Structure 1
Amino acid sequence: MKIKHIAMAAMLLAATAAQAAVSPDEAKQLGQSLTAVGAEKTGNKDGTIPEYTGGLTNGPAVAKGSGMREDPFAADKPRLSITGKNLAGQEDKLTAGTKELLKRFATFRVDVYPTHRSVVLPKQQLDNTAKNALSAKTTDGGVGVEGALAGVPFPIPKSGNEVMWNHLLRYQGHAFATKFDSWNVDASGVPTLASTGEIFQEFPLSDPKVSEPAKQNDVFFRIKLSYSAPARRAGEALLTLDAVNPAVQPRKVWQYLPGQRRVKLAPDVAYDTPNPASVGTSTYDDAWVFNGALDRYDFKLVGKKEMIVPYNNYKITYHKNPADIVKPNHVNPDMVRWELHRVWVVEAVLKPGKRHIYSKRVFYIDEDSWTALASDAYDARGQLYRASFDHMTFSYDVQALQTGNHMIYDFVSGTYNITGVAGPHGGTRYIAPLKAAEWSPDSLAGAGIR
């Protein structure tokens, strides 16, 4: 595996209680050899990864109030199609989960399209990122962040925790709403609607009016989720708040269950608790490939690597007919776009004395967007257990990442789940933030009554 190894000094610093920001001389790389968010500006030697030239700034028009976006790269044709028969020579560029799917299923295919470095963030995010490089630090052994403005907190990362925080704080706009389906496909190939829900996601730190660094108990991510299908889940609702330092302010979750007719705290909605939205095919911290606190794993920054990963997946994200997507054994390969990109590789190993069903996880985080595009999860025996993928798109009309369509394969049970199938329900709408009263636990009861 050809990986650019991180310097030993940086690894030693990662073990300290507070990770130091980079030096002014290092920070000068931003906007020069590095992009404003810390990606390598140049392409690769053979031209299969192009130079970064500013991202997608002239995408197709989006109707006012619409959540649907056209594929700006629909005319592209695959430059390579990988199957189990021609896998040789490509293994080094594929995740363990991708290789397992190719080996297991003759019908699985990886269509590799020309690489487009489409992501570009608003100017305020870029300006803040330059400031963060000199001021942002991790705290409590990498579990929290301090001194960070809205933007990439660690554009020149020195530790695995810093890369994971870049993923957690990736720019997704200020607020949006999506109605979506979650589908499970069992080992016999039968698809079942696991849930239909409507989710409001808000990122308070991304409010353009916020000009001060986040305080330790400030909420950076909050979701309000209500389910309408299937019948057994209709009326359920969930409210989740995540702060920039879970060691100071742990995740807060409230749940409304129609049968009980009351709102209650739900501290188990975290870590490896099975997620009922996927009928237990995934854990709560599998959502969006990874979410939640970093306290149960040691995150090692392995380095950067060229990998074939899902990217610019407008087709599957905005497709209107789920039957075209969910197929036996795996999603329809015709629906998924793969590209070659440079990603940061982070290996997470379960800490001694901590509990989780995954003993090790490997994350692949895009250098341009800081989105976790894929992960491999291993069980207590060290065997590959599950593999996750995110079908990231760039919402070019608002300069924000959309990472709601994600999926997970369970290699033990032979099942898979895809969540965030929003095309049938009108896609993703960027909205004004909800009123403060709508983020109170009491608001769940009114929203959840059938």
Structure 2
Amino acid sequence: MNKNIRNLVAVSMAALVASAFAQAPNLKSGNLTPMGAERAANKEGTIPAWDGKAVDTKPGADNKRPDPYASEKPVLQITNANQTQYADKLSDGTKALLAKWSGMRIDVYPSHRSAVFSQAIYDAVAANATRAKLANGGLTVEGAYGGIPFPVPKNGHEALWNHMLSYRGQLTTFTADKYVMTSSGDRVLTNRQRTGLAYPYYDPKGKADGFNGEWARARLDVTEPPANAGQALMTIDYVDNYTKPKDGWQYVPGQRRVRKSPSLVYDTPDPSAAGLANFDDVNLFIGAQDRYDVKLIGKKEIYIPYNNNGLFRKPVNAVIGKGTLNPDAVRWELHRVWVLEASLAKDKRNVAAKRRLYLDEDTWQAVLADTWDAQGKLWKTGQAFTLLAGDEPSASTLSYTWFDLLSGGWVYAAAINETGGVSYQDYDAKQLTKFTSSALASGGVR
């Protein structure tokens, strides 16, 4: 791409963002959805208009939600042989996977704008649009509560905070597996854990005034394999990364005590991922933003994993293939995404020298991510898979993968294929007693 074309693209992106910002007052009725996405279909009609209607996904006796689109067939298949025809709608990481593994294929299905949320969240987003602001160089969010803070983002940090503070329930629980696959095709279950997620930021009894800044608590209790059973982790995330990036505690059965653990952040390797993913790779990115300068590149249409209730219902033997997930198990759709690039800030360190995140416009959650190493090589690519829970209503990423493009190893994390479904409960402040260091000690003893 020559300099003139690059300049034209930059001007076009800036005009798009400016145009969207001018429409901010129209979140409730106008060209934008209540979450700030474009309400209209694309000009080709391959991305439909958003109609705001929730899809019925009432869970069955197994607590798993049905696939409302199970009868649909792919409208397009992309392989390495024909990927150049669709290069403008593929991420760099997706193109690299297609080139690396002969069995990799993208089955593209009809697109559905299925992400719908409650009116309370829409009202909070509308209020945030006029009151939320960044401080401390983008590391602190002020004045936001109960919804994504910046429905029409003006910069990269605002968009990344939207991802971080996107709706994943109020109290969410599930049991999930983590699998590590070697380049030779071996599969190892490295972790099964009960996961509890509490989101004080979405407490319907709370409000922006008086919010203490603690937006999420997570507790993970390991039950398998036997060698790791009894281990437990707990973390607290804050909307102020400037003074308090993250708190973490760890219970180790052999020591029978809880330790404050500052290592559960940034690029510390996740031991259960065999070095293929770090603690800041959860949900494709989580944690403090203070090590990166984040740039909002703009919006584009690309193929992303989406509406993957069918993936979660399949046994793991039908999901994990050689080199990638089984293409038959994964649903891809064409959607509009916000593209962010995070580059290491001056005098900061992280093994991921550059990250590119693709945020679905309807949920604000990262659905694809690419990572470059310090030598400028495309190193890893991640995919996150959206669980549609129209009965809540919500739509959020759950399971995710990270592929090491250099070694060929990969990890499939937060997999519920063999462990049941996801339980969503109304927020109850009393439940926070389960998310404390003392509770971690009593629950971790085996």
TM range (shorter): over 0.9
2:14 counterpart SS class: coil
Would the aligned equivalents of 1:183 and 1:326 in 2 still touch at CA under 8 Å? no
1:98 counterpart SS class: helix
Alignment partner of 2:201 out of 205, 213, 217:
205
- Report the CA distance between 1:54 and its aligned residue: 1.0
Would the aligned equivalents of 1:179 and 1:197 in 2 still touch at CA under 8 Å? yes
Give 1:161's aligned residue: 157
1:341 counterpart SS class: strand
Alignment partner of 2:436 out of 411, 430, 440:
440
Would the aligned equivalents of 2:223 and 2:229 in 1 still touch at CA under 8 Å? yes
Cα displacement string for residues 294-340 of structure 1 (whole angstroms, at most 9, x for unaligned residues): 11000000000001000001111232x21111121111011100000
Alignment partner of 2:299 out of 300, 304, 308:
304
Alignment partner of 2:338 out of 344, 355, 376:
344
Give 2:5's aligned residue: none
* Structure 1 pair 118–76 and aligned structure 2 pair: CA distance change class (3 A): same
Would the aligned equivalents of 1:173 and 1:401 in 2 still touch at CA under 8 Å? no
Alignment partner of 2:14 out of 2, 6, 16:
6
| AA at the equivalent of 2:293 | D
Give 1:274's aligned residue: 269
Rounded to whole Å, the distance in 1 between the matches of 2:312 and 2:36 is: 27
Alignment partner of 2:360 out of 355, 366, 375:
366
Rounded to whole Å, the distance in 1 between the matches of 2:300 and 2:396 is: 23
| AA at the equivalent of 1:122 | S
Give 2:4's aligned residue: none
Alignment partner of 1:325 out of 316, 319, 324:
319
* Structure 1 pair 436–26 and aligned structure 2 pair: CA distance change class (3 A): closer
- Report the CA distance between 1:248 and its aligned residue: 2.9
CA RMSD after TM alignment: 1.9
- Report the CA distance between 1:265 and its aligned residue: 0.5
Would the aligned equivalents of 2:116 and 2:395 in 1 still touch at CA under 8 Å? no
1:88 counterpart SS class: helix
Would the aligned equivalents of 1:78 and 1:113 in 2 still touch at CA under 8 Å? yes
Cα displacement string for residues 43-98 of structure 1 (whole angstroms, at most 9, x for unaligned residues): 1111100111114x24143247x531000111111000000111121011111111
2:13 counterpart SS class: coil
| AA at the equivalent of 1:324 | A
Rounded to whole Å, the distance in 1 between the matches of 2:176 and 2:83 is: 34
- Is 1:384 the counterpart of 2:392? The answer is no
Alignment partner of 2:40 out of 39, 42, 47:
42
Between 393-402 and 280-289, the greater mean CA deviation after superposition: 393-402
Cα displacement string for residues 334-371 of structure 1 (whole angstroms, at most 9, x for unaligned residues): 11000000000001100110000011110000101101
- Is 1:132 the counterpart of 2:128? The answer is yes
| AA at the equivalent of 1:332 | N
Cα displacement string for residues 259-295 of structure 1 (whole angstroms, at most 9, x for unaligned residues): 1111000001011000123122101111101100111
Give 2:67's aligned residue: 71
- Report the CA distance between 1:30 and its aligned residue: 4.8
Alignment partner of 2:423 out of 402, 411, 429:
429
* Structure 1 pair 8–78 and aligned structure 2 pair: CA distance change class (3 A): closer
| AA at the equivalent of 1:283 | N
Alignment partner of 2:214 out of 197, 207, 219:
219
Give 2:58's aligned residue: 61
The structure where helix makes up a greater share of residues is 2
- Report the CA distance between 1:8 and its aligned residue: 11
2:185 counterpart SS class: coil
Between 196-205 and 400-409, the greater mean CA deviation after superposition: 400-409
- Is 1:404 the counterpart of 2:393? The answer is no
What is the 5 A alignment of 1:109-148?
109-148=105-144
- Report the CA distance between 1:133 and its aligned residue: 0.7
Rounded to whole Å, the distance in 1 between the matches of 2:397 and 2:360 is: 12
| AA at the equivalent of 2:192 | T
Would the aligned equivalents of 1:6 and 1:158 in 2 still touch at CA under 8 Å? no
Alignment partner of 1:32 out of 12, 30, 33:
30
Cα displacement string for residues 201-231 of structure 1 (whole angstroms, at most 9, x for unaligned residues): 011111111133464x421111011101112
Between 245-254 and 368-377, the greater mean CA deviation after superposition: 245-254
* Structure 1 pair 410–282 and aligned structure 2 pair: CA distance change class (3 A): same
- Report the CA distance between 1:403 and its aligned residue: 1.8
- Report the CA distance between 1:29 and its aligned residue: 5.2
* Structure 1 pair 410–259 and aligned structure 2 pair: CA distance change class (3 A): same
- Report the CA distance between 1:165 and its aligned residue: 0.6
Rounded to whole Å, the distance in 2 between the matches of 1:153 and 1:9 is: 16
- Report the CA distance between 1:7 and its aligned residue: 5.0
Structure 2: segments with no counterpart, 5+ residues? 2-8
Cα displacement string for residues 184-211 of structure 1 (whole angstroms, at most 9, x for unaligned residues): 1101111110111010001111111113
State the identity as a percent: 38
Give 1:254's aligned residue: 249
Would the aligned equivalents of 1:132 and 1:154 in 2 still touch at CA under 8 Å? yes
Rounded to whole Å, the distance in 1 between the matches of 2:411 and 2:25 is: 41
| AA at the equivalent of 2:43 | K
| AA at the equivalent of 1:69 | R
Alignment partner of 1:289 out of 261, 277, 284:
284
Would the aligned equivalents of 1:214 and 1:244 in 2 still touch at CA under 8 Å? no
Rounded to whole Å, the distance in 1 between the matches of 2:348 and 2:208 is: 35
Rounded to whole Å, the distance in 2 between the matches of 1:89 and 1:190 is: 33
Superposition TM-score, scaled by structure 2 size: 0.94
Would the aligned equivalents of 1:300 and 1:348 in 2 still touch at CA under 8 Å? yes
Rounded to whole Å, the distance in 1 between the matches of 2:263 and 2:349 is: 13
Superposition TM-score, scaled by structure 1 size: 0.93
- Is 1:314 the counterpart of 2:322? The answer is no
Rounded to whole Å, the distance in 2 between the matches of 1:287 and 1:176 is: 16
Would the aligned equivalents of 1:205 and 1:214 in 2 still touch at CA under 8 Å? no
| AA at the equivalent of 1:323 | N
Give the number of aligned pairs. 435
Give 2:6's aligned residue: none
Rounded to whole Å, the distance in 2 between the matches of 1:232 and 1:209 is: 42
- Is 1:244 the counterpart of 2:233? The answer is no
Cα displacement string for residues 13-34 of structure 1 (whole angstroms, at most 9, x for unaligned residues): xxxxxxxxx67x7423553011
